[in-house]
Amino acid sequence: MSGKSIDHAFTAGGDREGASDPTYAGALSFLRRRFTKDVDGSDVTIWGIPFDSAVSNRPGTRFGPQALRRASAIFDNDPQYPFDRDLFEALAVVDYGDCLLDYRLPETAHSSIFEEASVILKKTGFLLTLGGDHSVTYPLLQAHAARHGRLSLVQFDAHQDTWPVATGSNGRPRVDHGSFVKQAVEDGLIDPATSIQIGIRTHAPETCGIEILGGEEIEEMKSAEIAARIYERTGGTNVYLTFDIDCLDAAFAPGTGTPVSGGPSSAKMLAVLRHLKNLQLVGADVVEVSPPYDHADITAIAGSTIAMYILGTLAEKKAG
């Protein structure tokens, strides 16, 4: 065991080092990256938001960041398929840990997320967030739009999340996981004319002007065709990518709060992500993984693979 170490998340001497932890042991940061609150100079910061107080169906996504980190351990220290490279030779990635939220005051969560995300974004190149229910994307869009201006939203999801936004007791919008997109459009955070939703298999009162690729439509399309529609819609603009794990069929993602049958396979959506290497990504999240409803980590493995593909795309871009 000479030269080997364990608990790489704490013992790493840098942000590009590979780990040697056994897959079944050691501190579980995402992809064994170094745990740190000092993100200055990092290319990517991984951040967890353990929040599920804005769901309309089954809870449990507060455990999502833990599950995604645990599932990611299998990826470390090997050239990652299909990128055929050590992602961290080109990319300095750290794990910032989780957002601190007051569980007694869930109505303060979004402002806390926005404030902390804004601080992180001043110091890192890219923020990759692990949710959490889909409402957390709203304050993340606020923080990213403050940095990059109005964004194009690329949303992988079974739901449009454009339901009417209620007003809370404090007179402010009550944004939940089914209404955050509508509020983001109304606030000017995203441009519906350059935004697109992929995998939609439910109806909502309105589209807000966002292009929709429904579940039946993408079933008939090749992954390259889906990617081409995304490129055409976003048109080289700054893109925030959000991946709700219920975009996948329930066979591939049973561990989620509002599963919908008739969706795509994990293989097909990963192939779409692989085609998006030239997208102008400025931020991303993976949300709605709910471990209490998962089986054998099927959903967590799919979610962590999606996050790894995002990192792989960023690593390839930086490496040229």
Domain map of the chain by residue range?
Answer: 8-319
CATH fold, domain 8-319, is Arginase; Chain A (3.40.800)
Peptide bond into 82 cis (omega under 30): yes
d(C-alpha 224, C-alpha 215), whole Å: 16
Q: Which residue has the tokens 């993408």?
A: 218
- 232-270 burial code (b ≥16 CB/10 A, e <16): ebbeebbbbbbbbbbbbbbebbbbbbbbbeebbebebbb
Ranges assigned E (strand) in 39-163: 44-49, 93-98, 127-131, 152-156
What CA–CA distance (Å, rounded) separates 90 from 87? 6
| pLDDT tens for each residue of 169-208 | 666 777 878 779 999 999 999 999 999 999 999 999 999 9
Is-contact 195 160, C-beta < 8 A?
no
Ramachandran region of residue 226, left (φ > 0), alpha (ψ -120 to 50) or beta? alpha
Beta bridge partners of 128: 46, 284
Least confident interval from 6-15, 18-27, 124-133, 169-178 = 169-178
pLDDT band at 165 (very low <50, low <70, confident <90, very high): confident
What CA–CA distance (Å, rounded) separates 268 from 83?
Answer: 16
Tens-place pLDDT, residues 221-269: 999 999 999 999 999 999 999 999 999 999 999 999 999 999 999 999 9
Say how far apart CA 300 and CA 101 lie, in whole Å: 22
Contact 126, 43 (CB under 8 A): yes
Query: Angle, nearest 10°, between helix axes 109-121 and 137-148?
Result: 40
Q: What is the arithmetic mean of pLDDT over 107-133? A: 95
Between 173 and 66, the more confident residue is: 66
Other C-beta atoms lying within 10 Å of the C-beta of residue 89: 12
How far apart (Å, rounded) are the C-alpha atoms in residues 243 and 234?
16
What are the angstrom distances between the C-alpha of 44 and each of 201, 300, 314?
A: 32, 21, 9
> pLDDT tens across 28-62, in order?
999 999 999 999 999 999 999 999 987 888 899 99
